[in-house]
Structure 1
Amino acid sequence: MSPTPLVISGWSAVSPFGVGRDAFRGGISAGRTAVAAVDREAFPGPFAEGAVVPDFTAAKYVGKKGTRTMDRVTAIAVTAVGGLIEGFRDELAARPEQTALVLGTGSGSVQSIMDFTRDALAGERPYHVDPARFPNTVMNRAAGQSAIWHGIKGPNTTVAGGSLTGLLALGYALRLHRGGHCSRVLVGAAEEYSTQRSWLEWHGRAEAERDTPLGEGSAVFLLETAEDAARAGRGALARVGATGFRAFHEPDGAREALATCVRGALERAGVAPRDVRLVAPLGAGGPLVAQEEAAVTDVLGEDADPRWVRIRPLVGDTSAASAALQLAGVLAAAGDHGLAPGEAALVTGVERDGQVGCAVLIGD
């Protein structure tokens, strides 16, 4: 018996275009870059340009009460989740244990980890640290706080996997529902901009890739069955057809690995290559960009003419939030009613550490 397919029936975004889905859709539709000069007083570091959520603070968007020690990535995630559940808060309150949350992250908050460690080393005594800030140093802080803040009592999972994190989280969410652990899943990813992250990225990149500015943001999606969405009066924006992942050993193998990955995902989803109308590539730096797009062309065919939705040039390298924002970019491009019946979208990614991934979305 095949698993019950899940649909995306809602989504929310916090991005360098602003807080909310409308701000993100407006920026993507206009093709407007959010990359600008970085406030060097707020974010001293090696990058002169970046893409940060404008005027974002936990106090402003989450509230002043209980947010004194909330770090930036947690506040971004809590805000994105809050923007999504506004549409079904009563349903959530009635059965909070039936809603799961799967949230992707990089290392949690690099800033919190490094600040806490520095305080322990530089203070008069290593134990003279602010204990209220210790929870920010664990990877699942953002997911845990998002659930607590919004009353989500179902399974709570944190996934980390570089720029493919959003796709990995999506695959995990599908398995979680398939196993009968919840009736709906909130799934997404979040990343913050910080001085500490900027230096780690700078030293971890090849010199040719240091020109790509950093970004931050979050995108969260509501996954449920089409029947549940219809009963609640929500339309299906897209059905999740399949996800797929493969590995490659040498950089030259990325093209073949991704092509094999995409072919397999399209076959499992029952989608013909000619039906793919939207493609959202990761577009990581260096030669992997060309390999990624060549792999997609290999599968779809030279004569295919899909609309390419390139997110990275507009919001920078959002690391762990990249794939989630790519998914959001597809939905933004599809419009208020989502993908048209028979229309398919493809989200792809190639990580420089040797992993490729993809997701196929289908209009119902």
Structure 2
Amino acid sequence: MSAARPGGTVTDGPLTKGPVSNAPVTNGPVITAWSAVSPYGIGRTAYAEGLGAGRTTATATATATPSDPETAPNPDSLACLVPDFAVREVLGKAGTRTMDRSTGLAVTAVRELLQDAENDERLVPTGTGTALVLGTTLGSAQGQHDFGRASFEGDKPYDVPAKLMPNVLMNCPTAATAIWFGLKGPNATLAGGRPAGLLALGYARRLLAAGRAERALVGAVEEYSTVRSWLEHHSRGADDEQAGPLGEGCAMLLLEPADGVPEGRRALAEILAIDVRADVRDDLAGTLAECVEQALEEAGARPDEVWAAVGGGLPGAAGRAEQRLLDEVFGTAVTGRVVSHELIGDTSAASTVFQVAAVLAAAAEDPAAAGRPAVVTSVDRDGMAACAVLRLLPQNGPAGGGTSRTATSRTATHSDPQSEGHDR
């Protein structure tokens, strides 16, 4: 499935080939459900309706920053935050006393996906057959900062609060989420920067192809904090000074084999190709161009077939080059069809999964999208470029089909003692 190419290229090829528009059979893994915890609120409907209305979500950080008041003043005047999101209020007090924001966002997003499936009477098994793959930048920057600061403030370097230790680990959200819901399949965290969501999607795709899991919950998470704000502030180049506000959230997808979708659950999109490359020539735009070209070729899709192409929205020169390339290859009508980061802010590692969710939400409202490819791309300042090609499948009814909720407590138990899943 994966192959190394000269020039630092790693690709995750398609399971099927041939013209997308003429393919009568869905053979590749398919996305069958999604959820989002976004600056629009909790739930897929909140996200779909917010994007559809074109609502901006930026708020003043002076009144809305979810960070430690003892840290340095925030360099941002605006941020796009999940409204009224307090971990213990959303998830309850049991097991959340030391849970960081990043973990809380991930647990909530998975809860929403499982609960929506339960409401539709299409339960998602949570036994050993279900994998969890989560993309991130580095986990919780705030948690790592707080633990490191404690080692300097204590009488001895080891005088640190043990309760903070789990939050230092970048796989804390993935592990805690699996424990919370009893997900006993493969559990993986991919720290891949902005393309992390597509890396996670490719990883989950390989798990299914290898028979290591029967289904996979795939997503990415990014929290907003004072520490992340300062890290982003100091890592920007001179051309990025006027960048838009930072955002936060977690988006999750349910990925299943095409021949393993339970009766009554609708396949929303087929994964045709994922191509990931590292720029080793100091030509990120050229690397992305090759990435897009290869992904389209492997998907058997032509640029004029593509219904929507969504860029990652990286601030600065690299992001502008990415958008120019997409405009040139697909046309502005196609690249302007779906928006996400312009409204919810820079969600960094979570951005690509939010892009996929935005495509699914928009496609549900446009019958012309059915059967056509969609392209999602991402680049970051470290030289990574990624492209995914999906084939959108017919959807019935309104986008998402869930209910919009504010951040209120709701605890649901999901178990599957009879799960037929198993590790091989």
Say whether the fold is shared (TM-score over 0.5): yes
User: What does residue 257 of structure 2 align with?
Assistant: 225
- Rounded to whole Å, the distance in 1 between the matches of 2:366 and 2:115 is 19
Q: Is the counterpart of residue 15 in structure 1 residue 38 in structure 2? A: yes
Matched, 1:205 2:228: no
Which structure is higher in helix share?
1
Cα distance change on mapping 1:156 and 1:287 into 2, 3 Å: same
**Aligned partners of 1:305 and 1:220: how far apart in 2?**
25
Of residues 276, 279, 291, the one that matches 1:261 is: 291
Distance 1:223 1:85, change over 3 A: same
For 1:326, the aligned partner's letter is: Q
Range that drifts further, 21-30 or 288-297: 288-297
Determine the structure 1 residue equivalent to 2:53.
30
Cα RMSD between the aligned structures?
2.2
Q: Deviations 1:289-332 (Å, cap 9, x if unpaired)?
A: 332123224433x5974544232221111111111111111112
Q: Secondary structure at the match of 1:39?
A: helix
Which whole-Å CA distance do the structure 1 matches of 2:338 and 2:110 have between them? 24
Deviation at 1:195, TM superposition (A): 0.7
Offset at residue 12 of structure 1 (A)? 0.4
**Does the 8 Å contact 2:129/2:213 carry over to 1?**
yes
- Residue 280 of structure 1 pairs with residue 322 of structure 2: no
- With normalisation by structure 1, the TM-score equals 0.93
Partner in structure 2 of residue 341 of structure 1: 370
Distance 1:303 1:281, change over 3 A: closer
1:174, distance to aligned residue in structure 2 (A): 0.7
Change in 2 beyond 3 A, CA 1:338/1:152: farther
Secondary structure at 1:97 match in 2: coil
2:183 aligns with 152
Greater mean alpha carbon deviation, residues 200-209 or residues 291-300 = 291-300
Q: Tell me the CA shift for residue 42 of structure 1.
A: 4.6
- Change in 2 beyond 3 A, CA 1:55/1:305: closer
TM-aligned CA deviation for residue 39 of structure 1:
2.9
Q: Matched residue of 1:175: which SS?
A: helix
Looking at structure 1, the residues matched to 337 and 320 of structure 2 have their Cα atoms a distance apart, in angstroms, of: 14
Q: Is the 8 A contact 2:308 2:334 kept in 1?
A: no
2:333 is the counterpart of 1:313: no
- Name 2:248's counterpart in structure 1: 216
Q: Distance in 2 between matches of 1:303 and 1:72?
A: 37
Whole-Å separation in 2 of the counterparts to 1:304 and 1:274:
11
Equivalenced residues, count: 360
Instruction: Return the alpha-carbon distance in structure 2 between the equivalents of residues 307 and 255 of structure 1.
Output: 20
What residue is the counterpart of 2:12 in the other structure? none
| Partners of 1:263 and 1:33 in 2: CA distance | 33
CA contact (8 A) 2:66 2:224 kept: no
**Which string of whole-angstrom CA distances, capped at 9 and with x for unpartnered residues, describes residues 144-182 of structure 1?**
011110111000000011111111111111111111100
Q: Which amino acid aligns with 2:215?
A: R
The whole-number CA distance in structure 2 between the counterparts of 1:256 and 1:236 is 34
The structure-2 alpha-carbon separation of the partners of 1:179 and 1:266, relative to structure 1 and needing over 3 Å to count, comes to same
- Quick check: 1:280–1:329 contact (8 Å CA) kept in 2? no
